[in-house]
């Protein structure tokens, strides 16, 4: 059986995004508290920032569970109907920083910000970094977002990284040797994005080679030239 066919037959990843699946640590406790206290956001708006894979999407879905918000990508705003979105009473827009230099998306987000404020709808934006680094071309949009309260997600500590690795393997329905988690914590980059990438590579290697996920396999996969590609 070919490698590609084996990968195609992989069980679907069931990512757990509920409130109980979010692991609390010093790096994310303040951001989680801001989400839990969403009814007290100044102007009913919050900007959630953090590096790739830091938990922004998870927190956006936690907030959606609390508020009934619709979650959508900023890139999809240009094709959406802002009055319909605002009628939900709460909207989460992911990856707002990625729409810089997309005039239609920037205008759509600006219109959404104004309409949400006028109608009293709650608005959550997520992004990888502070507003000045986004490169927005629409000054009025930049000023609107710059005025929002900000909650930040920081790099994970060892305990959080270990807990997330356990969750990522569980999402993929993978059983791993107990020593794998501390082995990975000691060696991968200090980010949840690196954890997700490592788990995905180990999943693929285990499937193709019909091997258990052990520190030995992890060393082969993560130290290989392919893992750095």
Task: Spell out the domain ranges in the chain.
Answer: 28-152, 156-228
Who wins on pLDDT, 158 or 42?
42
Which whole number is the average pLDDT over 5-33?
Answer: 62
Output the pLDDT for position 19.
57
Who wins on pLDDT, 44 or 18?
44
Q: Is the pLDDT of residue 115 over 70?
A: yes
What is the C-alpha separation between 153 and 229, in angstroms, rounded? 27
CATH 3.40.50.300 fits 28-152, yes or no: yes
- The angle at the Cα of 71, spanning 67 to 73, to the nearest 5 degrees, equals 155
Of 80, 52, 48, 83, give the one whose Cα is nearest residue 64: 48
Q: Is the pLDDT of residue 23 over 90?
A: no
Q: Which of 17-31, 49-63, 80-94 has the lowest mean pLDDT?
A: 17-31
* CATH of the domain spanning 156-228: 1.10.8
Which whole number is the average pLDDT over 169-187?
Answer: 92
């Amino acid at each position: 059986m070919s490698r590609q066919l084996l990968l195609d037959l992989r069980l679907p990843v069931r990512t757990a995004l509920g409130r109980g699946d979010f692991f609390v640590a010093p790096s994310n406790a303040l951001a989680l508290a801001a989400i839990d206290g969403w009814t007290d956001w100044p102007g009913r708006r919050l900007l959630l920032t953090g590096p790739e894979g830091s938990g922004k999407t998870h927190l956006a879905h936690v907030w959606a569970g609390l508020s009934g918000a619709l979650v959508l990508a900023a890139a999809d705003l240009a094709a959406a109907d802002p009055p319909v979105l605002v009628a939900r009473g709460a909207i989460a827009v992911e990856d707002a920083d990625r729409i810089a230099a997309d005039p239609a998306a920037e205008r759509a987000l600006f219109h959404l910000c104004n309409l949400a404020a006028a109608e009293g709808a709650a608005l959550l934006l997520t992004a990888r970094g502070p507003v000045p680094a986004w490169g927005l071309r629409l000054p009025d949009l930049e000023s609107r977002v710059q005025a929002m309260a900000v909650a930040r997600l920081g790099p994970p500590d060892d305990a959080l990284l270990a807990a997330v690795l356990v969750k990522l393997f569980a999402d993929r329905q993978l059983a791993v040797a107990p020593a794998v988690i501390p082995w990975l914590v000691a060696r991968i980059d200090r980010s949840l994005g690196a954890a997700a990438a490592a788990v995905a590579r180990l999943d693929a290697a285990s499937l193709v080679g019909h091997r258990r996920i052990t520190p030995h396999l992890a060393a082969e996969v993560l130290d290989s030239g392919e893992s750095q590609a």
